[in-house]
Structure 1
């Protein structure tokens, strides 16, 4: 069953007025501690921002690890956490389901260093998009980034909607994807980050295409806050967004070795019994805009895709409804 259906999102909306209000600012007091979910073995940008001292008095409280972007923003929408991040298409779907959330800053994307590839075995008969008809393509979750990019690729290569439906999507945990490809349990493996690098090092595979080749450098996901949180905590919101924006630019302006060393030290200090091996393969967060400023196209591309998929009605949600750059100092060039 496709994850992150509107029925689930709509059910969540009913709880929003009761959930999360306790976390919002009371009177003139604004929240200064933000609850969030992390990811094992990695450092998310707000964690880096806090370690660099960029959050200006705002602190973070880790409440556990997320299993996916859609789950992370659902947690934020229902008040279990104060912010969450996900693929922009998933954010647009939740807003379309009337969840009162707003995307405030981009936090990951694709560039020449950081991208997802759709890999096949050397010698595979799959040479083009049309060869994917009737084949199995592994993705980490349905209804998110990897599915959206694949279907955009198939559309651009001339496949009809009925033909695209014949390309079978199979949910495979990322750590098992390479093995599944080599054992021929799937025909195409989606690989990124350390998993891609290690698989390529072992040889015997090559990309059919990559999301960077298809779309160029682009911001793919954003952090969201609830509307009521933003309204009651505007200063905290600004400090959070500004800190994350500065952390993005810090990673771009410092040598990779220095960034990696800093990320490793953060993992060591937080004491979660994690394997920091993946950090050694870090290359970038992939955020193409200065300070993570959000562009309308970064949502419109996926809103258009969701409409083609029948997931959204035409006009159900507009890009301008989904995001704001009002709290990002890089949006008007005032950042220092």
Structure 2
């Protein structure tokens, strides 16, 4: 099955009524993230999958997106969720994955922010050279945003020292002086809002300064799974897209759903008040630039030969293909 035919089938399915998008129940195993709900989790909370034959099974927490891709490749997970750069690196490494839908995006309202202490001498991207930056994982969005920020300033892309710190500890390591900068990802607005509310921190730059408005990461499926379950794949994407639009249109209700889910998980529900949304464009589907930007970066870095990867071959379905159905 070619991508063109698969996209056409998915586009057609996305045009059907949701209740008929799938018939037989399938279970999708995944890992959650501390402090937040992925759009597919929100869709499940809202009941969008009740009649779609889809059951989500949370197997625990992921330290970062690359961990979910490893589980997806090994068969212990049915769904990954990672930064676009990490997804592409995994595909380059030989995994036949497709990007199902953008789990989050970055814009003026939702973004990754690089914080320092208020009295820090760090004032610009140039000043992070030689400094220690806390990120949630290596090889993913924050890592590549820093690389790109340094590149744009004609500095070596490895000029900063990155260390891995779980999201809930980002504020602590910064305030205790263990790192010079803490990078709060676009998916960690709950932790970022709590840290900002306490005060004493100053933002140096954010990822929209570096990348512009773009999808930050994707829910990822194995290509063979989507071909074996085309109706379920379409229903999965449709439910998540509906949830993304619902969250944008109902921000206060979204915070309530998040708080309830966090409490049920044994996490702190108070951080839900700082949820800033998902930052994904209306309609909840990607455009080719979301993928192509990072393909161009990886080609420039010599990680993949020019022309080997094409955004259209990686996207399961896009807003363009839906528009022409």
TM-score (norm 2): 0.83
* Contact map agreement 1:41 1:278 (CA 8 A) in 2: yes
> Residue 104 of structure 2 aligns with which residue?
108
> Residue 186 of structure 1 aligns with which residue?
179
> Residue 35 of structure 1 aligns with which residue?
29
Structure 1, unaligned stretches of length 5 or more? Answer: 1-27
> Residue 247 of structure 1 aligns with which residue?
243
RMSD of aligned alpha carbons: 2.5
Alpha-carbon spacing, 1:179–1:321, altered in 2? closer, same or farther (3 Å): same
Alpha-carbon spacing, 1:104–1:126, altered in 2? closer, same or farther (3 Å): same
Cα distance in 1 between the residues matched to 2:166 and 2:58 = 24
* Contact map agreement 1:106 1:219 (CA 8 A) in 2: yes
* 2:272 matches 1:279: yes
C-alpha deviations, 1:258-291, integer Å up to 9, x for none?
A: 12122333445xx43333222222120121x223
* Contact map agreement 2:63 2:166 (CA 8 A) in 1: no
* Contact map agreement 1:148 1:305 (CA 8 A) in 2: no
* Contact map agreement 1:83 1:225 (CA 8 A) in 2: yes
> Residue 323 of structure 1 aligns with which residue?
315
Written as runs of structure 1 = structure 2, the 5 A alignment for 1:229-268 is 229-254=225-250, 256-268=251-263
1:152 to 136, 143, 148: 148
1:91 to 80, 87, 90: 87
> Residue 303 of structure 1 aligns with which residue?
295
> Residue 13 of structure 2 aligns with which residue?
none
Instruction: Give the C-alpha shift of residue 330 in structure 1.
Output: 8.5
Instruction: Give the C-alpha shift of residue 131 in structure 1.
Output: 2.3
2:204 to 200, 205, 208: 208
* 2:38 matches 1:44: yes
Alpha-carbon spacing, 1:330–1:57, altered in 2? closer, same or farther (3 Å): farther
Structure 2, unaligned stretches of length 5 or more? Answer: 1-21
1:175 to 168, 175, 184: 168
Alpha-carbon spacing, 1:35–1:123, altered in 2? closer, same or farther (3 Å): closer
TM-score (norm 1): 0.80
SS in 2 for 1:170: strand
SS in 1 for 2:265: coil
Instruction: Give the C-alpha shift of residue 135 in structure 1.
Output: 1.7
**Equivalenced residues, count:** 299
* Contact map agreement 2:35 2:191 (CA 8 A) in 1: no
C-alpha deviations, 1:33-55, integer Å up to 9, x for none?
A: 22222234432211221222222
Instruction: Give the C-alpha shift of residue 31 in structure 1.
Output: 4.8
> Residue 323 of structure 2 aligns with which residue?
332
Alpha-carbon spacing, 1:199–1:292, altered in 2? closer, same or farther (3 Å): same
2:120 to 96, 105, 124: 124
Instruction: Give the C-alpha shift of residue 333 in structure 1.
Output: 7.5
> Residue 18 of structure 1 aligns with which residue?
none
Alpha-carbon spacing, 1:259–1:174, altered in 2? closer, same or farther (3 Å): closer
Cα distance in 1 between the residues matched to 2:295 and 2:315 = 13
1:313 to 298, 305, 321: 305
